[in-house]
Amino acid sequence: MKKREKYQETILSVLASLRFSFVLLLLLGLLVAQRAIIAQKFLYLENPPWFIRAMNGLGLDSPEPLTIPFYGLLALLMVNLGLASRKMVQRIRAKQRSVRGMRDMASIRALPAHAEFAVATAGVELLSAFFKRKGIRATRETGGGETSFCGEKRGLGHWGVLFFHLSFFVILAGALLSVLTRYAGLFDLAIGETFVEARGNYAHVTAPPLLFAGDRKFALRLEGIDLSYWKPGALRQNASTVRVWDANGVLLGQRDLAINSPLRIDGVDIYQGSRAGFIAGLEAADSAGTKALGRVKFFLPAKAEEKMVSRVMLPGTTLVLDLELFTDMLGGIGGLEALGARHENKVSLLKVTVVGDHRIFSGVIFGGGSLNVEGITLRFVSLTPFTSFFAARDYGVPVIFGGFALLILGLLITYFWVPEQYWAVVRQEEGRERIVAGAVTEKFRESFKERFAEEMQMLASGGRGAGIDG
């Protein structure tokens, strides 16, 4: 039984050790580097230099084999951080207790930063003033011809590493919440169209999340698009104005959203998407009078020579329509005036090529006009600008960002709010007062030692002209 307990104790001590966390971090670094190589491997490179080819040779072909080791490492890291944090709290408490205790002259002399000097009189007042000036909360004890001091500065600094460790728990809790609650979807809206938040209404949507998967049912209608380019393909501004209703149909008002300025509705963030263009309303009617209305999307050209084309299949037939859009509306978009000029007719028209059963037919439909082909009447009923949106719901994000803030705070406290502990003894000796003072700190010890020596030198010279003895 005792042997078992000993094993358990050894395992726990290894799991909580700093060496173990160092190894875990090293392995994590190697896994992340592997991810970086995989990411760069998939980017097209024209004549990559030898060192990139060599690096890519070290990378796997897919990140999938890394998933289990990555999560395994994270789990072990959490165990290590948890156990280490427990140990750390015990150590901090012990340190706090030790600082409250006085030290004798011999033990102060053993400290790496210490000084010894004598003053003619008022050594106690001199040290009290020094501690006060430095913002050190010092306590004093007198007895046996001696006055002892002990004090601490920046005591909160002891907790910095714990904050730092806790931040990883918060970040990982946020990441877990993210995995459980995140979903994202894309949708396009033409001016005047309304989108109701429900899984079925997205053009593309990720798998439903495990938690809070219900539709939010709020609605937004696109009222206006503010789109302009520096030149074709170089976006200058992309913003939209929408009118928003809550799930009960209550109008929440008109809102603006733009790139870098998403809109939050009922926990869902709506981002301005990058796709934009026109939606043509096309009505197809057969000889029996059956009608079908379709929306055909045309994306804005990124280059002067690029055409606005789309391909659709007529429902219930084997006919495929190859469509090319010409519209003077293109010239109305800032920065695309030159492209609009190419569309000489200055009206909206569709050039139609119908392909079906080895027959090809070409024709043109003007806006509001129609075209008969293979017994089907095609009508070009509308043309409206559209823009795209990206919606994401992720309850983990604020937790993750909170963890980041804690991480930075922990680092700042750990390294720039470093605790300093001071001890001093003043002893009456042959009409003079001997002062022995010492201090310890946890980080940047050499600079601290140098600074402490300078301070003691100043104190000694201020103390009736005496000098440092040791």
Query: Given candidates 76, 88, 184, 309, which one binds another protein under the rule CB under 8 A?
Result: 184
Which residue, among 347, 425, 381, has the nearest Cα to 141 in the 3D structure? 425
Does 446 engage in binding with another protein (CB under 8 A)? yes
Cα–Cα separations (whole angstroms), residue 134 to 127, 138, 150: 11, 10, 13
What are the residues whose beta carbons fall under 8 Å from the beta carbon of 121, sequence distance 6 or more? 433, 464
Distance CA 458, CA 461 (A): 5
Q: Which is nearer to another protein, 50 or 288 (CB)?
A: 50
Residue among 213 and 408 whose Cβ is closer to another protein: 408
Residues 6+ apart with CB under 8 A from 276: 225, 227, 238, 299, 300, 385, 386, 387, 388
Does residue 326 sit in helix, strand or coil? strand
CB of 416 to another protein, least distance (A): 8
Q: Are 343 and 292 in contact (CB under 8 A)?
A: no
Residue 151 or 157 with smaller CB distance to another protein: 157
Q: What DSSP string runs through 368-433? A: T-EEEETTEEEEEEEEEEEEEEEEEE-THHHHHHHHHHHHHHHHHHHHHS--EEEEEEEEEETTEE
Residue 1 or residue 234: which is nearer to another protein going by CB?
234
Nearer to another protein, 84 or 437 (CB): 84
User: What is the distance between the alpha carbons of residues 34 and 41, in angstroms, rounded to a whole number?
Assistant: 10
- Indicate the residue among 186 and 329 with the shorter CB distance to another protein: 186
Of 125 and 450, nearer to another protein (C-beta) is: 450
Non-local (6+) Cβ contacts of 273 within 8 A are 186, 188, 387, 388, 389, 390
Confirm or reject binding of residue 196 to another protein (CB under 8 A).
Answer: no
CB nearer to another protein: pick between 82 and 262: 262
Q: Which of residues 10-69 bind another protein (CB under 8 A)?
A: 18-19, 21-22, 25-26, 28-29, 32-33, 35-36, 39-40, 43, 45, 48-49, 52, 63
143 binds another protein (CB under 8 A): no
Does residue 209 bind another protein (CB under 8 A)? no
Establish if 415 lies at the interface with another protein (CB under 8 A).
yes
Under DSSP, the state recorded for 375 is: T
CA within 13 Å, CB half, 51 = 0
**Which member of 169, 299, 366, 404 binds another protein (CB under 8 A)?**
404
Pick from 10, 13, 90, 237: which binds another protein (CB under 8 A)?
237
Task: Verify binding: residue 7, another protein, rule CB under 8 A.
Answer: no
Q: Which of residues 242-261 bind another protein (CB under 8 A)?
A: 258-261
Residues 334-373 that bind another protein (CB under 8 A): none
Q: What is the total count of residues that contact another protein (CB under 8 A)?
A: 53
The residues with which 257 forms a beta bridge, in sequence order, are 240
Q: Tokens for 212?
A: 């809070």
**Largest interatomic CA distance in the chain:** 125
Residue closest to 325 by CA, chosen among 365, 371, 265: 365
Binding mask 265-284 for another protein (x = CB under 8 A): ----x-x-------------
- Residue 309 and residue 354: Cα distance in Å, rounded? 13
Task: For another protein, give the closer residue by CB, 212 or 230.
Answer: 230
Task: Name the β-bridge partners of 235.
Answer: 229
Per-residue binding string, another protein, 63-82, x by CB under 8 A, is: x-------------------
Residues in touch with another protein (CB under 8 A): 18-19, 21-22, 25-26, 28-29, 32-33, 35-36, 39-40, 43, 45, 48-49, 52, 63, 184, 230-231, 234-238, 258-262, 269, 271, 390-392, 397, 400-401, 404, 407-408, 411-412, 415-416, 444-447, 450
